């Protein structure tokens, strides 16, 4: 039995951890989803892109962690969450975060506006147009 906490990357270069997370899959990684999404907070980290891609494939389980990011106070994290995870979510899962994207697009705070969170939120919402 694997200690699921041991799957969380140890640093931004820990690509072996990403591979281990992918191998373990869901639901084994359910207890560490918030930890894992945290490693996508900076899209320049080597672990960020492959981890974000994997997380975007989880479907419904990724909704709550994404919503916590979008409702948080880190505009850079929101930006990368939208461009690396939200923009590639299946449409049915994207709809689950639609209200938060609309809020960010229509009423961004100053920090979100400075990081262009409103712009990427609007771009993500375009996928929901008929």
Provide the domain count of the chain.
1
What's the CATH code of the domain at 51?
A: 1.25.40.750
Cα angle 91, 79, 98 (rounded to 5 degrees) comes to 30
**pLDDT, position 2:** 75
pTM score over 0.85: yes
As a whole number, mean pLDDT of residues 100-106 equals 98
Cα angle 75, 81, 85 (rounded to 5 degrees) comes to 165
As a whole number, mean pLDDT of residues 99-115 equals 98
**pLDDT, position 1:** 67
pLDDT, one tens digit per residue, over 19-65 is 999 999 999 999 999 999 999 999 999 999 999 999 999 999 999 99
Residues spanned by the domain of 60: 4-128
């Amino acid at each position: 039995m694997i200690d699921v906490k041991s799957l969380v990357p140890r640093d931004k270069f820990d690509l072996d951890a990403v591979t281990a997370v992918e191998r373990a899959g869901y639901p084994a990684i359910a207890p560490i989803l918030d930890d894992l999404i945290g490693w996508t907070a900076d899209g320049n980290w080597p672990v960020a892109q492959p981890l974000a891609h994997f997380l975007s494939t989880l479907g419904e389980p990724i909704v709550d962690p994404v919503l916590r990011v979008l409702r948080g106070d880190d505009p850079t994290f929101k930006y990368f969450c939208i461009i690396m995870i939200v923009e590639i979510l299946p449409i049915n899962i994207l709809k689950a975060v639609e209200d938060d994207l609309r809020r960010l697009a229509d009423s961004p705070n100053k920090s979100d506006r400075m990081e262009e969170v409103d712009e990427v939120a609007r771009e993500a919402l375009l996928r929901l147009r008929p």
